[in-house]
Amino acid sequence: MGTIIKAEGLKKSFDGFEAVKGIDMEVEAGEIFGFLGPNGAGKTTSIRMLTTMVRPTSGKIIINGFSLDKDLTEAKASIGVCQQHISLDKDITVRQNIKHHAILHKMPAKEIGPRMGELSELMGLGPHMDKKVTELSGGWKRKTSIVCSIMHRPKILFLDEPTAGLDTKSRHMLWDMIRELNRSGTTIFLTTHYIEEAEDLCGRVAILNQGTIVALGSPKELCDSIGYITVEYSGDDGKKSMRQFPDRQSGKEFMAKLKEDTAMSLRKTTLEDVFLIATGEEYSEGGV
Amino acid sequence: MPRILDESYRVAWGDLCYFKENAPTILISCLIGPLLYLVAFGYGIGSGMESGIDGYIRFIIPGVISMATLSATFSFISSKILIQKLFYASFDELMLCPIRPSSVVLGKTLVGILRGICSCAIILAIGVLISPGIKVTAFLFLLVFISSLTFSLLGILAGLLAKKHNSLTVFSSLVIVPMTFFCGTIFDVSNVPAILGYAIYALPLTHPTEAIRAVMLDLPIPWLSVAAICVYCILFFVLDYCIIKRRSF
Ligand SMILES: Nc1ncnc2c1ncn2[C@@H]1O[C@H](COP(=O)(O)OP(=O)(O)OP(=O)(O)O)[C@@H](O)[C@H]1O
Ligand SMILES: [Mg+2]
């Protein structure tokens, strides 16, 4: 289907501190692309550059065929963004916020009402529509932001930790909604700290650490790259360790060599294991 | 042209909702200052003047109207921009939508202009009651409009440049407050020493004051001042436009 988001040599410095150190990536149209990384890795900064809110220190971005250097307005027309930090106007009501968003994105007036009704019902926002934003709980604010970001049916949807602060039921509902949007052709670019969910949802993920991409590929490719089988065991000092193996057999051989009374288990490698290793946060010297 | 108006209205929509729901408090808050000056200076100081109280009241009404185009717009707009930028982050949403920077700038001035025109209209009504001789023309409203626009644009500039609330307060007390008093609003600028006079003429509020006073007191229109207001207006617009276009705030 072709590339819809392209970043080349993307860098961002804040007063000499380099938060993003040169990112190159391409996202295909119709993909769900996960952007993972520990706190402070530079995910939000990258999203803010990709969505035109922050000017990169250097590098090139092309969104839906439009270069952000030249055709900023055209690029903006094809994106929807739900930011990590709630960005609603707290002086007006939920309904007014959503409507203002639709007006800013030039939705035809007669489409706004029905679309707003449909989405607020889906999110269960109905009873809160006429409240001031300040009267809402954190989760409801998040839901309002999500409704705003998809109101104008963007071609590319950027979600920066959309599930932060949502209860379990709402989180599942949101993942379903993301799948549904993706089925209808929306490209999704999302960050999350729930790695097992990213593994479930994303066609491809990039793992970011200290401003650089340290791993990129489908969850399966990434798991296979470090070893398809993981053995978890407690070391002599009682600390939990893990080690990856290319197949079950070599995993079992390794387990046989461990002390008899060691707590150990053998399982499939998960994206979380990849994440821990790639970001250097694994609880032992893992890797094969 | 229609496109920029359409887009500006879209930008202003949220602020207009807030304005509609809170119109009485918003208007009262911006009327208090000018009306206090009118009473305190007009009746207080004016009564001791040679020209007599009526002459000074006639002199001060245009000054207070000009003052209102500044006081009703600048602080309201600058703090709104700063809050939307720093605390609500809703300014981000504005930067995310397919609206051109020029429309964002103009849209953000709209509530300011509305506030300026409404408060000037109310002061004008009071002015006509207490000093029936003053003139009210369409050109007067045009001047009030341009002046409100200019100081709204200045408000946007200050709001965009300020990194914290404190810097806005400092700018206000160092520049805006002296300007309200010195720019010919309550005394005749031609009476001050030449050096101070030049400084006063460099300040943007002096020019609407002179022009508005000329219209209301039926004096020859100071076209140079009218041109100066327009120059300030364009200057502030261009600065706002560049900052928003370059996203350097
Ligand atoms: N406006 C700013 N000024 C200075 N430093 C900043 C600014 N924004 C971000 N940073 C720094 O850039 C780095 C990356 O921040 P960023 O918000 O992109 O991280 P993140 O990956 O989104 O983290 P999290 O998972 O916590 O949301 C951090 O070290 C942060 O302190
Ligand atoms: Mg973040």
Least CB–CB distance from A105: residue in B87, B98, B247:
B98
Residue nearest to atom 29 of ligand 1 (CA): A40
Return the H-helix or E-strand segment holding A265. Answer: strand A264-268
Q: Percent of chain A having pLDDT more than 90?
A: 81
Confidence at residue A246, expressed as pLDDT on a 0 to 100 scale: 92
Shortest distance between the Cα of A18 and any Cα of chain B, in A, equals 18
Amino acid sitting at position B243: I
- If you average pLDDT over every residue of chain A, what do you get? 92
Q: State the DSSP string of A139-174.
A: HHHHHHHHHHHHHT--SEEEEESTTTT--HHHHHHH
Confidence at residue B7, expressed as pLDDT on a 0 to 100 scale: 95
Q: B94 — contact with chain A (CB < 8 Å)?
A: yes
- Is the ipTM higher than 0.95? The answer is no
Confidence at residue B249, expressed as pLDDT on a 0 to 100 scale: 65
Amino acid sitting at position B228: A
Which residues 6+ apart lie within 8 Å of B191 measured at CB?
none
Q: Where are the domains of chain A?
A: 3-220, 222-278
- Entry pTM: 0.90
Mean per-residue pLDDT, A175-194? 94
pLDDT, tens only, A55-73? 999 999 999 999 998 898 8
Find the closest chain A residue to B14 by CA distance. A100
Kindly report the CA angle at A44 between A38 and A50, in degrees rounded to 5?
Answer: 135
Nearby residues for ligand 2 (ion, Cβ within 5 Å) = A 43-44, 84
Strand partners, A5: A27, A63
Structure tokens at A24: 């190159």
Find the closest chain A residue to B3 by CA distance. A106
Structure tokens at B236: 């502030």
| Whether the CB of A37 sits within 6 Å of ligand 1 | yes
Confidence at residue A288, expressed as pLDDT on a 0 to 100 scale: 37
pLDDT above 60 (res A284):
no
pLDDT above 60 (res A14):
yes
Amino acid sitting at position A271: L
Q: How far apart are CA B119 and CA B136, in angstroms?
A: 15
Q: State the DSSP string of A77-91.
A: HTEEEE-SS----TT
**Confidence category of residue A287, pLDDT binned at 50, 70, 90:** very low
Q: What is the CA radius of gyration of chain B?
A: 18
Q: Where are the domains of chain B?
A: 2-246
Structure tokens at B187: 């005394």
Q: How far apart are CA B113 and CA B59, in angstroms?
A: 24
Verify whether the Cβ–Cβ distance B17 to A54 is below 8 Å. no
CB atoms within 10 A of CB B187: 17
Mean per-residue pLDDT, A182-209? 94
Confidence at residue A240, expressed as pLDDT on a 0 to 100 scale: 85
CA of A42 to the centre of ligand 2 (A): 7
CA of A45 to the centre of ligand 1 (A): 6
Residue A239 burial class via C-beta count within 10 angstroms: exposed 0-12, middle 13-18, buried 19 and up: exposed
Q: How far apart are CA B119 and CA B65, in angstroms?
A: 8
* Residue B54 main-chain phi, psi, to 5 deg: -65, -40
Q: How far apart are CA A33 and CA A192, in angstroms?
A: 11
Least CB–CB distance from B88: residue in A87, A104, A106:
A87
| Whether the CB of A48 sits within 6 Å of ligand 1 | no
Confidence at residue A282, expressed as pLDDT on a 0 to 100 scale: 57
Listed as ranges, residues in chain B with pLDDT below 70 are 1, 51, 248-249
Least CB–CB distance from B90: residue in A76, A89, A99:
A89
Strands A156-160 and A187-191, bridge-based pairing: parallel
pLDDT, tens only, A225-242? 999 999 999 877 778 889
* Residue from A264, A243, A242, A280 nearest A38 by CA: A280
Q: How far apart are CA A73 and CA B100, in angstroms?
A: 7
Confidence at residue A281, expressed as pLDDT on a 0 to 100 scale: 67
Confidence at residue A285, expressed as pLDDT on a 0 to 100 scale: 44
Return the H-helix or E-strand segment holding A21. Answer: strand A17-28
CA of A84 to the centre of ligand 2 (A): 6
pLDDT, tens only, A231-273? 999 877 778 889 999 999 999 999 998 888 888 899 999 999 9
| Whether the CB of A41 sits within 6 Å of ligand 1 | yes
Fold (CATH) for A3-220: Rossmann fold (3.40.50)
DSSP 8-state assignment for residue A93: B
